[in-house]
Structure 1
Amino acid sequence: MKLTDIKKGIGPEWAEKGYQLPKFDIEAVRAKTHAEPTWIHFGAGNIFRAFPAAILQQVLDSGKYDRGVIVAESFDYEIIDKAYRPYDNLSLLVCLQSTGTIEKKVVASVTESLKADPQFSEDWARLVEIFTAPSLQMVSFTITEKGYGFSPADLERGMNAQFAMGKVTALLYERFKAGALPVTLQSMDNCSHNGDKVKAGVFAYAEKWAEMGLVPAEFVAYVKDETKVTYPWSMIDKITPRPDAKVQKMLEEDGFEDNYTIITERHTFTAPFVNAEETEYLVIEDKYTNGRPPLELGGVMYAERETVDKVEKMKVCTCLNPLHTAMSIYGCMLGYTLISDEMADEDIRGLITKMGYIEAMPVVVDPGVLKPADFIGAVLNRRLPNPFMPDAPQRIATDTSQKLSIRFGETIKAYQEKGLDMNELVLIPLVLAGYARYIRGIDDNGNAFEPSPDPLLAELSAIVAPLEVKEGPQDFSCLKALYSRKDVFGVDLYAVGLGEKIEGMVAELYAGPGAVRKTLHKYVSAR
């Protein structure tokens, strides 16, 4: 069983083994898309195939749309050469369910794969052709937050820019020359106000090139004219880990031959298949200038910008990200290496469940299109316990100092703004207290461990360096230098009336081996 078999005619074993196949005419869709492209996507990684491309697959299967998506890769060209073209742009989506079962679906919505750089002359010529097509509606991105960056040196390269936003701006210039045709640039990356990151990059290149005399001022006006070019926000949420050995083994047992991992020279982990969690959300600001593919038929929620922003705040400040951080801090100290294993720990599960439902929910931002209680329920009951998801608290704990102000500080501020009683907060202070033990790098058994990389780790760990894990009294006055840091916690925790409470919890967490478990159990049980 190989992916390309489905173009030649297949036997009954595909259906017998639970493989869902495309329900549309693949060649007809490819021909229509080549002639009149509507959607091109930059970023050929796993999240694209597991989510946007899979959404479009559902739309095509419905019979209510007839155009596929073209994918372009501007960073790691080996992905195109090794994970797309040998399989005729087909892939297998393996949905990892919390029950321990999997669903398998052949995705055929990707009609072409291109390397986005002028050094690949045929591919670049095709990109120019796509960008000058009046039918083009959407240029989308999953290139990670770093992918939207630009540098003075790259701006100076003009049309030979190497960064993604420079290449896209060069292609937009071709669209401008073809008649200032309308189009929408749609980020689908997991970062706040992502459309503004696309906009900032395009504006920077366009303005610099106009200054250098490479493009007319009218081009700058074109990319800034929101009747022509728009940059909507979106909120995306779906986990797509690296190809997993357990999944490979299951596919091998089926007789599915395209089951191996591909590691590129740029250390991208990919494969002919993508394994991903079952839960997914994509909410997009509905601000398009030339129409758009009907992705709502595949589950995308379209809304106003304010609603997209509220969904993001619900996720980041209440219903997902704070739970992740709480689990990472205590999981590292209690010796866990898998998030799914932590969910079998009654104290940790109790911590995040009660923190979310009891302490954060009173101030949650309700976006309307998604119910916060339903969202957090899916996190607790399907997403975090999923045995297939090889996510580790050590990974999630990376850069914790950069996350605390949003994930907990915003909830504390909301309590202040609403005039709620700060004494109602118990478990959120417990998480912040745990941070002072975590950055000391001593686990609950008294053994040293390496905290995850963090730009402030050395500075903050130096503050708690005088503290010892031992029974008996010791001086915790050093904590004032930590918990008064607005840059870390979003507020001065003493000024809001939580500093002393947290100090007391820290003292309990440092009271000898086993103190982390004892303190965690005490406060979770009482709550």
Structure 2
Amino acid sequence: MEKLSYKTLRMLGYKGYLLEKAPEKILQFGEGNFLRAFVDYWFDMANEKAGFNGKAVLIQPIRTGLTEQINTQQGLYTLYLRGSEKGRRIDDKRVISSVSRCLNPYDTEDFDKMMEVAASDDLQYIVSNTTEAGIVYDPSCRREDRPASSFPGKVTQILLHRFEAGKEPLIILSCELIDNNGKELKKCVEQYIDHWKLSDAFHNWCEKCTFCSTLVDRIVPGRVHDPKTKSEMDRANGYEDDLIDVGECFGVWIIEGSSGLENVLPFKKAGLNVQVVSDVTPYKQRKVRILNGAHTGFALGAYLAGFNIVRDCMHDETIKGFMNKMLFDEVIPTLPLEQQDLEAFAAAVEDRFNNPFINHELLSISLNSTSKWRARNMPSFLEYTEKKNKLPTCLTMSLAAYIAFYSNDIQERSEKGLSCRRDDGIIYIVSDDAWILDFYNEHKNSTEEELVHAVLCNVKMWGRNLTDVPDLEQTVTMYLKKIHEDGAKEAFAFCL
């Protein structure tokens, strides 16, 4: 079987969209699964739908990566977008042709090629996803390094080279999963300007570059590792593809910038779900409190009720009903965006959780649930309580379910975590910070009243004493007893 290439596709009579040659307009730091299923997909669609006519040069951000595989396949790969939309099973695929090549800047020749792209008249964008640890200032980086070890150091080298070549400023789209990713990258670049004693003229030129903070949202399980599944996909496609990528069909890219930026970017013209907004913060709140908050809000109780994966929960009217009541009645009223926008996003959550292609385990969601409940659910809980002057039923139950999950028939405390027993006899491991696991282990013989009081007044856990919230201690204790006596599913049903 032939390797995926433009020649192979021509031989097979491939009928899908392809763009074989185009100017290299994007310099992309990161060649992994997420960026190829997200950013490169959007630009591929912009090429097809809006005549963007641009290619991305991928930069391998660390010493080892996919450079060889990408160049062997001429930048081509098959992307599967799978999931559920309004209850309808979606299984789409397309060959992505928005990538021209990949460079490894730790190779001397490729470093020079990267700098050639940096000084090109065609270049318009820098895009990145170098993980949460990527946007970090490292003072050991030097201007003359080839390349600088840190990602912001590399960006400063590229911008300086472009400035010295007399070229136009760039639009920089940061996709790392940290708050204010674009602002943080710009801050690091400014630190290098100071540290390397670069000119005021260069600093002023950098001010004309547009550093955009962005919010990315698409679940990307990534490459197919099972040899049998991979072989079946290759056979169905008629070519060998070592870069097959898989993502969910849902996707949205929120980009912070001025109103004029929307007309500069190629996505609006292509009719894509890429939005330019003045402030990305409320959209991050929407994602964290609705999507992530839904996971944390029902997953622990659902696991205690005997469920193991997210999709099965969406086929149970009690668990699904609990999640939807929590989102629509308790979370959405606390958020600042338009009601219609929030309700549409929440409605899509059910489809995303019902993805027939992803077996998302509830136990994987349960990792570090203390900090997750504090970050994802507690803000909605507190704002609802303050706004309505009463407790939100489902969010309060989710707190009781969290306590039940961490304390259910504790067997032992070991290096692996805290071993607990589910009602059906299955032993599961609670994973969290050591001090949290020690806390629950120390309270394994406490009464419900004692345990709830100890949890709620633990300021280290929540950043405040939650026993100050009127009626919370008594209500959580009542819910915890209900979970113990009637089971978690009956407790969820009680909320409905």
Structure 2 CA distance, aligned partners of 1:256 and 1:396? Answer: 37
Query: Does residue 460 of the first structure (1) align with residue 436 of the second (2)?
Result: yes
**Against the structure 1 CA distance between its residues 313 and 447, is the aligned structure 2 distance closer, same or farther, given a 3 Å change threshold?**
same
Question: Which of residues 397, 421, 427 is equivalent to 1:430?
Answer: 397
Structure 2 CA distance, aligned partners of 1:501 and 1:352? Answer: 19
Identity score, percent: 21
**Residue in 1 that maps onto 2:364:** 395
Q: Is the 8 A contact 1:128 1:171 kept in 2?
A: yes
Q: Is the 8 A contact 1:131 1:174 kept in 2?
A: yes
Q: Is the 8 A contact 1:310 1:367 kept in 2?
A: no
Structure 2 CA distance, aligned partners of 1:253 and 1:4? Answer: 12
Q: 1:474-493, aligned counterparts within 5 Å?
A: 474=447, 476-486=449-459, 488-489=461-462, 491-493=464-466
Structure 2 CA distance, aligned partners of 1:182 and 1:156? Answer: 20
Aligned residue pairs: how many?
A: 476
Question: Which of residues 261, 277, 294 is equivalent to 2:248?
Answer: 277
Structure 1 CA distance, aligned partners of 2:77 and 2:302? Answer: 35
**Residue in 2 that maps onto 1:338:** 309
TM-score, with normalisation over the residues of structure 1? Answer: 0.81
Q: Is the 8 A contact 1:194 1:233 kept in 2?
A: yes
**Residue in 2 that maps onto 1:22:** 17
Q: Is the 8 A contact 1:93 1:275 kept in 2?
A: yes
SS in 2 for 1:412: helix
Structure 2 CA distance, aligned partners of 1:479 and 1:526? Answer: 19
Give the gaps of 5 or more residues in structure 1.
16-20, 260-270
Q: Which moved more, 1:152-161 or 1:240-249?
A: 152-161
**Residue in 1 that maps onto 2:416:** none
**Against the structure 1 CA distance between its residues 289 and 436, is the aligned structure 2 distance closer, same or farther, given a 3 Å change threshold?**
closer
Query: Does residue 93 of the first structure (1) align with residue 45 of the second (2)?
Result: no
1:361, distance to aligned residue in structure 2 (A): 2.1
Matched AA of 1:112: R
1:62, distance to aligned residue in structure 2 (A): 2.6
Q: 1:18-417, aligned counterparts within 5 Å?
A: 21-24=16-19, 26-27=20-21, 29=22, 33=23, 37-62=24-49, 64-75=51-62, 77-82=64-69, 84-98=70-84, 99-117=88-106, 120-154=107-141, 161-179=148-166, 181-210=168-197, 215-223=198-206, 225=207, 228-244=208-224, 245=226, 248=230, 250-254=232-236, 256-259=238-241, 271-287=242-258, 292-296=264-268, 297=270, 299-306=272-279, 308-317=280-289, 319-334=290-305, 336-366=307-337, 371-380=341-350, 382-417=351-386
Structure 2 CA distance, aligned partners of 1:294 and 1:72? Answer: 22
**Residue in 2 that maps onto 1:268:** none
Please list the CA deviations of residues 7-64 of structure 1 after superposition, one character each: whole Å capped at 9, or x if unmatched.
355466756xxxxx2254x13x2xxx1xxx4221111111111121111111211362
Structure 1 CA distance, aligned partners of 2:140 and 2:379? Answer: 37
Q: Is the 8 A contact 1:460 1:482 kept in 2?
A: no
Structure 2 CA distance, aligned partners of 1:437 and 1:66? Answer: 55
Structure 2 CA distance, aligned partners of 1:156 and 1:130? Answer: 18
TM-score, with normalisation over the residues of structure 2? Answer: 0.86
Structure 2 CA distance, aligned partners of 1:390 and 1:302? Answer: 30
**Residue in 1 that maps onto 2:430:** 451
SS in 1 for 2:247: strand
Matched AA of 1:303: V
Q: Is the 8 A contact 2:59 2:102 kept in 1?
A: yes
Matched AA of 2:257: D
Give the gaps of 5 or more residues in structure 2.
408-418
**Residue in 2 that maps onto 1:4:** 4
Q: Is the 8 A contact 1:238 1:280 kept in 2?
A: yes
Q: Is the 8 A contact 1:335 1:443 kept in 2?
A: no
1:139, distance to aligned residue in structure 2 (A): 0.6
1:490, distance to aligned residue in structure 2 (A): 5.5
Structure 2 CA distance, aligned partners of 1:289 and 1:12? Answer: 40
**Against the structure 1 CA distance between its residues 431 and 95, is the aligned structure 2 distance closer, same or farther, given a 3 Å change threshold?**
same
**Against the structure 1 CA distance between its residues 125 and 291, is the aligned structure 2 distance closer, same or farther, given a 3 Å change threshold?**
farther
Matched AA of 2:253: L
Query: Does residue 421 of the first structure (1) align with residue 397 of the second (2)?
Result: no
SS in 1 for 2:196: helix
Matched AA of 2:493: V
SS in 1 for 2:81: strand
Structure 2 CA distance, aligned partners of 1:234 and 1:426? Answer: 33
SS in 2 for 1:449: strand
1:279, distance to aligned residue in structure 2 (A): 0.7
Please list the CA deviations of residues 251-304 of structure 1 after superposition, one character each: whole Å capped at 9, or x if unmatched.
145153425xxxxxxxxxxx4211111111111123489984412215143333
**Against the structure 1 CA distance between its residues 461 and 422, is the aligned structure 2 distance closer, same or farther, given a 3 Å change threshold?**
farther
SS in 2 for 1:71: strand
Query: What is the CA RMSD across the aligned residues, in angstroms?
Result: 3.0
Q: Which moved more, 1:389-398 or 1:2-11?
A: 2-11
1:229, distance to aligned residue in structure 2 (A): 2.0
1:397, distance to aligned residue in structure 2 (A): 2.5
Question: Which of residues 432, 439, 442 is equivalent to 2:420?
Answer: 442
Q: Is the 8 A contact 2:371 2:461 kept in 1?
A: yes
